């Protein structure tokens, strides 16, 4: 049989748990402050290159995509090295934007080709 805890004991356990989480969060914040982040270059970092390409695509969609309704971006898929297909859900269709991009060693992205297509689901 497990002994019942009194109200005071429960409060003590709860405060200990809160203090434990508090200390853990503080330690995480302090260690994050101590980290020195070195900037990555596109020439030696696939992650930095992907970030620059995706950022370019999202900025372009924000500036040029005319349809405000629907379900938003449902997928961004890299199909080749610098080619991405973006799917945007709309009612009874999916708009697809295909981007062919180029990127240099300084992470400057430029548009090579952009094509738009639609997959219809209406009956």
Q: Between the CA of residue 87 and those of 3, 24, 38, 60, 90, what are the distances in Å? A: 58, 40, 33, 14, 10
Closest to 101 in 3D by CA, of 82, 80, 87: 82
Please give the structure tokens belonging to residue 87. 């799917």
Measured CA to CA, the distance from residue 87 to residue 77 in angstroms comes to: 8
pLDDT in tens, 9-51: 544 444 443 434 444 444 444 444 555 555 557 777 889 999 9
**pLDDT for position 69:** 77
Q: Confirm whether pTM is higher than 0.85.
A: no
pLDDT at position 87 over 50: yes
What would the mean pLDDT of 67-83 be, rounded to a whole number?
A: 90
Residue 48 in 3-state DSSP? helix
What would the mean pLDDT of 79-84 be, rounded to a whole number?
A: 94
């Amino acid at each position: 049989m497990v002994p019942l805890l009194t109200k005071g004991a429960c409060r003590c356990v709860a405060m200990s748990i809160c203090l434990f989480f508090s200390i853990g969060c503080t330690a995480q914040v302090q260690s994050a402050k101590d980290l020195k982040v070195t900037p990555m270059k596109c020439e030696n970092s696939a992650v930095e290159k992907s970030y620059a390409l995706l950022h370019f695509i999202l900025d372009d969609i924000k500036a040029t995509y005319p349809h405000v309704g629907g379900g938003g971006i449902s997928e961004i898929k890299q199909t080749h090295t610098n080619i991405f297909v973006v799917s945007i859900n709309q009612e009874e269709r999916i708009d697809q934007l295909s981007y062919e991009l180029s990127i240099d060693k300084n992470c400057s992205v430029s548009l090579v080709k952009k094509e738009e297509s639609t997959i219809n689901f209406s009956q």
